[in-house]
Amino acid sequence: MNPYRLPRTAVPSRYDIWLEPDLTTLTFRGTETVALDVVEPISDVTLNAVELTIESASLENDRGETIRATPTMDDTMERCRLTLGSPAAPGRWRLRLAFRGTLNDKLRGFYRSVYKEPTGVSRTMAATQFEATDARRAFPCWDEPSFKAVFAVTLAIDPALTAVSNTAIVGETRENGRKIVRFADTIKMSTYLVAFVVGELEATDATMIGRTPLRVWCVPGKKHLARFGQHIGAASLAFFEQYYGVPYPGDKLDLLAIPDFAAGAMENLGAITFRETALLVDETAASHAELERVADVVAHENAHMWFGDLVTMSWWNGIWLNEAFATFMEMLAVDAWKPEWQRWATFGVSRAAALSLDGLHSTRPIEFPVTSPRDADAMFDVLTYEKGASVLRMLEQYLGPDVFRAGVRDYLETHRLDNADTGDLWAALGRASQQPIPAVMDGWIFRPGHPVVTVSREGGELVLAQQRFNYLREPLPPAAPEPDQPWQVPVQLRVHGRSAVEERVLLTERQARRRLGEPGDVVVANAGGHGFYRVRYAPDLLEALLKRLDLLVPIERFNLVNDAWAMAVAGLMPLTAYVDLTARFREERDRNVWSVLTASFYAINRLVAPAERARLEALVRDRVAPAFAALGWTPRGGDDELTRQLRGDLARALGVLGNDAAVQARAAEIYAGSLKQRGSVDPNLLPAVIAVLAQAGDAGRYEEFLAAFRSAKTPQDEQRYLYALAAFRDPALLRQTLDRTINGEIRTQDAPFVVRSMLMSVYARELAWDFVKRQWDTMDGLYPKHAMRRLAEGVTGLATRELEADVQAFFAAKKPQFGGKVLAQYLEQLHVAVTLREREAAALSGYLSKLG
């Protein structure tokens, strides 16, 4: 029995909610009537409520009976218990409640968001964020995903303001100087999907997708940034209706940009909320990466309208059904919208992030027990999203896209307006494919970790073997070693001999042998790159591959580098051999392959002693400069969007990590030119130029960037300058930035991420760690709820033995409650880095000094 779960003795089917927010006093009043099915005689009713004052409560039924109810709040369990004056018999009842609350500044529940108008005047609006368990902060409710009900919301607001909720407006009247806005009934859905937003809002004209009007909403003065988001919104909605074969479940779709927003976006049915950077963008001034972000987030949330909103996981342990699917569908939709972006190739970066966390002993299965609200929050990580989406992609490729889609449609039709769990999905996919899905998939969903597949040749035979991949030999105490069972691994092989041959092997045992190819052939395992596993080639096979990189598609080269880096981190390949391997990629022109190469250089940079940094900078220049020289500073007519983005990425790597004086000087010229003539620099280059100048910048540059941050005209521009403030080297300037993370100058939605980036920077990390230790409680009091968990991830960059000990001691004393296995994962990641450093420092130092 989970003490957090509500009894099912009374089950709600409908909420009529009336709310009156006051943006001046920052409070709200509300009443609600909840239609309840009482299933057995009860003497009390327990539901969720927290930080609410319940003013009155009673039960009534159609027979004219009324029962007085006395509320008792339980703050730790976030519940309210209503003790009934007399027992209620089974049957239909109406629960009537009146309550009050405050519009908090913690970006959860019913909260306030403050922004400046174009004129500089400060304004307040109200918005909601309920997932996972914060609807209970706005109105008393059965706040668990399986208590689905219909919601009928009425908002009583200042007549000068606008209100948006999940459904269309069905009535607007005036009462006592208030505008009464009545919204249509929602579909039967979970509490965490309810939303309301009240403020001075502006909307675009609607785009019609079939019968569904789609609009973008924002605070005044930003409507010109809504076009791109509206385009992908419309395109992805149409795509999903097609793919799912089920109509959009709402009566309209609003996308709302909220100035203060804890997550990236939230899939409230019909009223999706976003942080501004994830929805509003100037298409002519944004980089490819910035546009891709908007497209991703919008497509992701739209995908949830079916996966999550229409069909919902029964409990938070199954959140992967929401998030992994939305992430998978996001890729499909963006890929269909802009095939030239090669979204599935870039998905390799997400898969790599998941593999990286999943290589820890302290990883968890995708589906994992959830007890408390904290545990529910801790589920929103790369395992749920990126590992989940990766294994779905692997399964889709294994079954074939059409069969997979048929299974998805079956699942949605079978469970629409209801809840489901992983077994239900397997059953639907099993019906579509006539294959034993649980046998193939359970290992990927219910067991932690993933395999490394080793590939070697014995004469005419290829030998494939699997075992669990771990960075560390042994788990950190107090955890014990886990049993190692084989996975069912779909291994796609491609052998280049006289011709190219593909063969699929479902590796179910620890080892398999195939007569395939001949000695000397080039062998690609994980061909096409869809598999969620690592590949370790025998030395001769690796060498053969590296000689013929031209035979690999970009995602295969990406995986080759990424897996080699993982082998080096795990001690299965000397770090110097990895660094040598990177020299084979000077001709590389794929932006994702470069991103894994540069990410590894950043990681190595955190391991070398300050005295060695100059040598590492030289190494980076040696690797990156040829590719950048080939591209040049100025975009050429024929460059596609990905090439333009690559140019920016390489300039950044050279200027920041390579500390290349020429690049820094040229960046300064380009930046000066861009100030004189807006739009004179390619939007893919400008963010890189800003980052390069920050790294090399003095106090004058800091003041300049600070002013630019304050007066930025787009959310993306603001972000670039904000993160630039974290990237200077001068300790005095870095201290200023740290102060700004707690003095109100940097929004609390951003500050934790800024601190995290400083913990990861070799120039800022010691200062930042000192600051974090001193200000932990202040930050914890100031920031939204996920924030300290996100911020603390930065400690994985504190990769020295001394700092590691200090981090362990700090957390042992502080005992932060991140939920799930989060803290153990951070500490293990840090330990992996320190272990690598201690094992390889001397050899690396020797290697770098020989480069001259």
Question: Does 560 interact with Zn ion (rule: CB under 5 A)?
Answer: no
Please report which helix (H) or strand (E) contains residue 28, including its range. Answer: strand 27-38
Closest by CA to 827, choosing from 476, 480, 549, 345, is: 476
- Binding mask of the shown chain, residues 320 to 349, with x at each position contacting Zn ion by CB under 5 A: ---x--x-----------------------
Write down the least CB distance from residue 788 to ligand BES, Å: 14
Q: Which stretch binds ligand BES (CB under 6 A): 139-147, 296-304, 414-422, 760-768?
A: 296-304
Select from 266, 294, 437, 827 the one that contacts ligand BES (CB under 6 A): 266
Integer CA distances (angstroms), 720 to 14, 291, 471, 685, 768, in order: 45, 14, 34, 12, 20
Please say whether the beta carbons of 318 and 445 come within 8 A: no
Catalytic annotation, pick one of 51, 301, 323, 556: 301
Question: Does 132 interact with ligand BES (rule: CB under 6 A)?
Answer: yes
Report the relative pairing of strands 212-218 and 202-203 from DSSP bridges: antiparallel
CA atoms within 13 A on the CB side of 787: 27
Please say whether the beta carbons of 804 and 767 come within 8 A: no
* Residue closest to Zn ion, measured at CB: 326
Question: Does 301 interact with ligand BES (rule: CB under 6 A)?
Answer: yes
Select from 265, 561, 694, 792 the one that contacts ligand BES (CB under 6 A): 265
Q: Between 252 and 300, whose beta carbon lies closer to ligand BES?
A: 300
Please say whether the beta carbons of 152 and 185 come within 8 A: yes
Q: Between 326 and 495, whose beta carbon lies closer to Zn ion?
A: 326
Question: Does 793 interact with ligand BES (rule: CB under 6 A)?
Answer: no
Write down the least CB distance from residue 741 to ligand BES, Å: 20
| Binding footprint of ligand BES, residue count (CB under 6 A) | 16
Measure the CA angle with vertex 528, ends 522 and 534; round to 5°: 80
Q: Between 204 and 277, whose beta carbon lies closer to Zn ion?
A: 277
Write down the least CB distance from residue 124 to Zn ion, Å: 28
Write down the least CB distance from residue 326 to Zn ion, Å: 4
Question: Does 305 interact with ligand BES (rule: CB under 6 A)?
Answer: no
Per partner kind, with CB cut-offs from 5 to 8 A, the member of ligand BES, Zn ion, none near residue 297 is ligand BES
Distance CA 427, CA 436 (A): 9
| Binding footprint of Zn ion, residue count (CB under 5 A) | 2
> Is 172 labeled as catalytic in the residue annotation?
no
Q: Which stretch binds ligand BES (CB under 6 A): 259-267, 428-436, 481-489, 659-667?
A: 259-267
For residue 44, the tally of other CB atoms under 10 A from its CB is 16
Integer CA distances (angstroms), 206 to 266, 448, 521, 597, 849, in order: 20, 45, 58, 44, 63
Q: Between 59 and 193, whose beta carbon lies closer to ligand BES?
A: 193
Please report which helix (H) or strand (E) contains residue 812, including its range. Answer: helix 801-814
Structure tokens at 835: 């272990």
DSSP string, 158-199: -TTSEEEESS-EEEEEEETTEEEEEEPPPPSB-GGG--EEEE
Measured over all CA atoms, what is the biggest interatomic distance in the chain, rounded to whole angstroms? 92
Which residues 640-679 are close enough to bind Zn ion by CB under 5 A?
none
Integer CA distances (angstroms), 270 to 213, 793, 803, in order: 10, 33, 47
Question: Does 649 interact with ligand BES (rule: CB under 6 A)?
Answer: no
Per partner kind, with CB cut-offs from 5 to 8 A, the member of ligand BES, Zn ion, none near residue 255 is none
For residue 155, the tally of other CB atoms under 10 A from its CB is 26
Please report which helix (H) or strand (E) contains residue 92, including its range. Answer: strand 91-102
Select from 137, 148, 300, 621 the one that contacts ligand BES (CB under 6 A): 300
Integer CA distances (angstroms), 97 to 15, 52, 57, in order: 11, 11, 5
Write down the least CB distance from residue 242 to Zn ion, Å: 20
Instruction: Please list, in sequence order, all residues whose beta carbon lies within 8 angstroms of the beta carbon of residue 763, skipping any fewer than 6 positions away.
Output: 728, 729, 734
Structure tokens at 442: 């359970």
Burial (CB count within 10 angstroms: exposed 0-12, middle 13-18, buried 19+), residue 850: exposed
Per partner kind, with CB cut-offs from 5 to 8 A, the member of Zn ion, ligand BES, none near residue 718 is none
Q: Between 156 and 376, whose beta carbon lies closer to ligand BES?
A: 376
Q: What is the 3-state secondary structure (H, E, C) of 108-134?
A: CEEEEEEEECCCCCEEEEEEEECCCCC
Q: Between 353 and 538, whose beta carbon lies closer to ligand BES?
A: 353
Distance CA 310, CA 306 (A): 5
DSSP string, 581-644: HHGGGTT---HHHHHHHHHHHHHHHTTS-GGGHHHHHHHHHHHHHHHHHHH-SSPPTT--HHHH
Q: Which stretch binds ligand BES (CB under 6 A): 196-204, 293-301, 537-545, 607-615?
A: 293-301
Q: Between 305 and 507, whose beta carbon lies closer to ligand BES?
A: 305
Which residues 323-352 are close enough to bind ligand BES by CB under 6 A?
323, 326
Write down the least CB distance from residue 275 to ligand BES, Å: 8
* Residue closest to ligand BES, measured at CB: 264
Q: Between 111 and 728, whose beta carbon lies closer to ligand BES?
A: 111
Question: Does 131 interact with ligand BES (rule: CB under 6 A)?
Answer: yes
Question: Does 264 interact with ligand BES (rule: CB under 6 A)?
Answer: yes
With tokens 């908007």, the residue in question is 294
Q: Between 297 and 807, whose beta carbon lies closer to ligand BES?
A: 297
Write down the least CB distance from residue 5 to Zn ion, Å: 23
Which residues 265-324 are close enough to bind Zn ion by CB under 5 A?
323
Question: Does 297 interact with ligand BES (rule: CB under 6 A)?
Answer: yes
- Binding mask of the shown chain, residues 232 to 251, with x at each position contacting ligand BES by CB under 6 A: --------------------
Per partner kind, with CB cut-offs from 5 to 8 A, the member of Zn ion, ligand BES, none near residue 309 is none
Please say whether the beta carbons of 291 and 283 come within 8 A: yes
Closest by CA to 299, choosing from 334, 274, 262, 258, is: 334
Select from 304, 387, 447, 831 the one that contacts ligand BES (CB under 6 A): 304
Which residues 559-598 are close enough to bind ligand BES by CB under 6 A?
none
Write down the least CB distance from residue 385 to ligand BES, Å: 6
Write down the least CB distance from residue 272 to ligand BES, Å: 9
Per partner kind, with CB cut-offs from 5 to 8 A, the member of ligand BES, Zn ion, none near residue 131 is ligand BES
Binding site for ligand BES (CB under 6 A): 131-132, 263-267, 296-297, 300-301, 304, 323, 326, 380, 385
Binding site for Zn ion (CB under 5 A): 323, 326
Residues labelled as active-site residues: 301
